[in-house]
Amino acid sequence: MTQKVALITGSTSGIGLSIAMRLAQSGHNIILNGFGDPQKIQWTANSIAEMYKIEVVHSNADMTKPDEIEKMIHMAQNSFGSLDIVVCNAGVQHVAPIDEFPPEKWDMILAINLTSAFHVIHHALPLMKEKKWGRIINIASAHALVASPFKSAYVAAKHGLAGLTKTVALEVAEHGITCNAICPGYVQTPLVDNQIQDTAKARGISPETVIRDVILGSQPTKEFVKVEDIAELAAYLSSDHAAAITGTMLSIDGGWTAH
Ligand code: NAD
């Protein structure tokens, strides 16, 4: 496959970082995005670039800010001359009963987990249409397909992302561009580690019980999904072999949504 340019939002940690590394392994130039210690991010970017002999740049664009998202896309174009693969991955979580759910958390989750994908796609599509080739991968969740209590904003945003994925796929089907969603089950990343305490509080149970009964209880395999396996699926969807796969919700959830 020829060298492409890939932007992965929320790629300074967890699933996004793993996808960035896997796409770098395929030989693509990478735009990392996300928050964290600037020195650590620079070290990560340099290490990936050196390991896979490709170029890596970082944008600290805030996915709640449409003007910063637009600048990030321009930065990608200015750095590499094109943008071929976008992975809308940035996401946050907050766990609370809906009558106690802080409205500002609702707004933030909708902005990062759903609306940022609209802005990324909105600005990236003209560049992909120009080249008659593009891959859009939205990192949704099992929660794009089924609900769980106390995650109203997250479930609403991820269901919305599923709708956005299908709509974009239909609009660009004749332009050589695909748009798909990956729907992971539970993956052990900082996002999940942080929600264990909140879920314990919301359900009135211990953190150990949350892991056993709520998290791994949802997944028939009784195992977390591995970040590397999600990255491998993203690499496949980014390849020419996946040209006919579009508008799909691809579950990688240890059997969760087979229930
Ligand atoms: P993570 O917390 O490890 O990483 C989140 C990333 O998003 C980080 O790089 C962070 O800096 C970035 N980010 C957060 N707010 C941002 C903002 N305003 N602007 C830009 N970047 C921002 O989380 P993760 O578990 O790797 O989650 C990645 C995606 O996968 C999310 O969309 C999440 O909903 C989805 N997902 C995760 C799981 C899971 O179990 N971990 C399961 C299904 C889906």
pLDDT (tens digit, 9 = 90+) per residue, 96-106? 999 999 999 99
pLDDT (tens digit, 9 = 90+) per residue, 100-123? 999 999 999 999 999 999 999 999
5-186+226-258 folds as: Rossmann fold (3.40.50)
pLDDT confidence of residue 1: 67
> Where are the domains positioned within the chain?
5-186+226-258
pLDDT (tens digit, 9 = 90+) per residue, 201-249? 888 999 999 999 988 998 999 999 999 999 999 999 999 999 999 999 9
Q: Report residue 114 CA to chain centroid gap.
A: 10
SS3 labels along 71-115: HHHHHHHHHHCCCCEEEECCCCCCCCCHHHCCHHHHHHHHHHHHH
| Closest among 248, 246, 235 to 1, alpha carbons compared | 235
Other C-beta atoms lying within 10 Å of the C-beta of residue 109? 25
Selecting among 52, 154, 186, 236, the annotated active-site residue is 154
Task: State yes or no: is 154 an active-site residue.
Answer: yes
Q: Best mutation site among 191, 221, 230, 251 for ligand 1, i.e. most ligand atoms within 8 A of its Cβ?
A: 191
pLDDT confidence of residue 194: 85
Q: Are 44 and 17 in contact (CB under 8 A)?
A: yes
Question: How many A from CA of 10 to the centre of ligand 1?
Answer: 6
